[in-house]
Amino acid sequence: MNDKKIRTSKEFSQEINRLGKITSIIALIAMFMVPIGTAYWYGVGLSFTKALAAGSSLIAIFLPMAVVENLSFYPIFGSGAMYLSSITGNITNMKMPVTVAGQKIAGVSPGSEKGDVIAIICVGISSLVTIVVLAAGVFLIGSWLVPILNHPVLKPGFDHITPALFGAITVPQLLNNKKIAIAPLIFTAALFLFLGPAAYSQYQSYILISAMVISFAVAYFLDKNKQS
């Protein structure tokens, strides 16, 4: 039974990675075809060196952030949901909260086989919901929804939706792992007070890496002390 379970789990993982690589390549080709097709249609010459020079500042900012996000999200998403969320996007303010809530409701642990399956379902459903919402926003309610979202009374609330979601997700995690959470929490709070909001946002990807290393180190030493 155990051998069969291990074999099935391995086959599932291999199939997920195979499909993930194929769909990622297809998605990348489709994404690149938009600017290439537009340039071809309007007769605009493409220069790789100019495009690289124009995007170098963005690459310097977002490449470390992308690496850090993938490393930090993977333990919760697993491989299948990670592939899917990377293609569909909107990870931070939709896919992650939905996945954490779904795993909690289902009573499964992140990183487990059941947790990975629930993550795939959550990300898939939230992707479909995103498509429906975007389609409705563009074709049906876009003309009158924008003034509502930008209303001076309501705009501050909509601007703080993402922090509110992450606050609701973070606090239970901190309470469930108090010993591990204390060190990175003090570290990040001290840096925020020292650097200020603007500088903190600029270096947040590097701060996140440092906080992850501190969390791993604390968890390692706590586990060592528990075993001794």
Whether the Cβ atoms of residue 81 and residue 120 lie closer than 8 Å to each other: yes
pLDDT number for residue 2 = 58
Q: How much helix, strand and coil, in percent to the nearest 5, is found in the chain?
A: 90, 0, 10
Phi-psi region of 190 (alpha: psi -120 to 50; beta: other; left: phi over 0): alpha
Residues of the chain above pLDDT 90, percent:
11
pLDDT per residue as tens digits for the range 151-168:
787 778 777 777 777 777
pLDDT per residue as tens digits for the range 54-96:
777 777 777 777 777 788 888 889 888 999 988 888 887 788 8
Task: Say which residue the tokens 């792992």 belong to.
Answer: 177
Residue 1 has pLDDT above 60, yes or no: no
Q: Which of 59-63, 74-78, 142-146, 210-214 has the lowest average pLDDT?
A: 142-146
Nearest by Cα to 92 from 115, 111, 76, 107: 76
Whether the Cβ atoms of residue 126 and residue 94 lie closer than 8 Å to each other: yes
Residue 177 has pLDDT above 70, yes or no: yes
Q: At what angle do helices 161-176 and 178-195 cross, to 10 degrees?
A: 140
Query: For residue 170, what are the CA distances in angstroms to 16, 67, 78, 162, 204?
Result: 29, 21, 19, 12, 17
pLDDT number for residue 25 = 94
pLDDT per residue as tens digits for the range 10-69:
788 888 889 999 999 999 999 889 888 888 888 887 777 887 777 777 777 777 777 777
Cα angle at 68 between 187 and 33, to 5 degrees? 150
**In 153-191, which positions are buried (b, 16+ CB within 10 angstroms) versus exposed (e)?**
eeeeeeeeeeeebeeeeeeeeeeeeeebbebbbeebeeb
pLDDT number for residue 5 = 60
- Name the average pLDDT for the chain: 81
Residue 189 has pLDDT above 70, yes or no: yes
pLDDT number for residue 112 = 85
Distance between CA 190 and CA 176 in Å, rounded? 22
Query: For residue 218, what are the CA distances in angstroms to 75, 120, 190, 199?
Result: 17, 30, 18, 26
Task: Say which residue the tokens 């270096």 belong to.
Answer: 203
Which pLDDT band holds residue 7 (cuts at 50, 70, 90)? Answer: low
